[in-house]
Amino acid sequence: MMRSHLSMMSAFANALVTASVALLFFFVLSPAVAAPSALIESIAATAAPSAEYSVGQLRITAPWMRATPKGATVASGYMTITNTGKEPDRLLRVESDIATTVEVHEMSVSGEVMKMRPLEKPLEIEPGGMVELKPNGYHLMFSRLRQGVNEGDKVSVTMVFEKAGKVEIELPAAGIAAKGPANEGTMPEHKM
C-alpha cells in the first residue's frame, strides 16, 4: 500500500522532471532544431529533435565543446547528465577518436589559484539527480589530441555507464570564445 503510493509519487516526480527538461529544451534549444538527421539515425538510443540523448535511465542534454586553439593538445567537453531512475549510476569510461585519453576532470578556483584534477572515483549521478559538466567545473578532458577541433565540428564521444551502458553522443563545437553551447553563446551572464 505504502509502496505503491511511493512509486506513484516518484512516477509523478519523474514526469515532472521529464516535462521540465522538455520545456527547458523547447525554450533553450528550439532555435537549433537543425540537428543533422544522419546524427540522429546513428543513435539507437533516442530520436529527440535536438541534442538530447537517452540511455537507460539517463538523459544527456546540451552537449558541447569549444573549438581548440591552433596546436592545442587538450580540449574539454560539457553536458548535463540527468538520472531519472531510482538507482545511482556511474560514468566508467569515455572514449573519442580525437584524443588518446578522455577523463572526467574537475576544475576549481580557490582564491585566485586555478586547479584541475582528474576525478579519483567515477563520476556518479544520483537517482533523481543531475550532474552538470560546464566551464570552471567538471568537464570531459580530452588529452593528447589527435586533431584540432574547429567551430561547427561534431565530435563523437562514447560514454560507458555502469548501469545504463554505452551511449554514443556528439558534441557540437562552438566558437573558441564561447561560454556555452552555440545557441547560448551570446548570453551575457553566466554565474558560477
Partner 1 sequence: MLKNVRIALWAACALPLVALLAVVGLELTQGTNSVGAFQASGIGGPFKLASSTGGELSSDDLKGEPFLVFFGYTHCPDVCPATVSDVSTWLDALGPEGKGIKALFISIDPERDNVASLKDYLSSFSDRIIGLTGTQDEIANVAREYRVYYAKHPTKDGDYTMDHSAVIYLMDRDGKFAGTLTYDEKQEAAVAKLKRLLASA
Question: Using CB under 8 A as the criterion, which residues of the chain lie in contact with partner 1 when the complex forms?
Answer: 66, 68-76, 101, 107, 109, 112-118, 135-136, 139, 141-143, 176-177, 179, 189, 192
- Taking the least distance from each CB to partner 1, the nearer of 60 and 75 is 75
* Residue 116 binds Cu ion (CB under 5 A): yes
Which does residue 143 touch among partner 1, Cu ion, none (CB within 5 to 8 A, set by kind)? Answer: partner 1
- What would the x/- binding string for Cu ion be over residues 119 to 148, using CB under 5 A? ----------------------x-------
DSSP state, 151? T
- Taking the least distance from each CB to partner 1, the nearer of 1 and 177 is 177
What is the residue-wise DSSP string for 50-104? SSEEEETTEEEEEEEEEPPPTT--EEEEEEEEEE-SSS-EEEEEEE-TTEEEEEE
- Taking the least distance from each CB to partner 1, the nearer of 56 and 172 is 172
65 and 78 Cβ atoms separated by less than 8 Å: yes
Give the separation between CA 28 and CA 11, rounded to whole angstroms.
Answer: 25
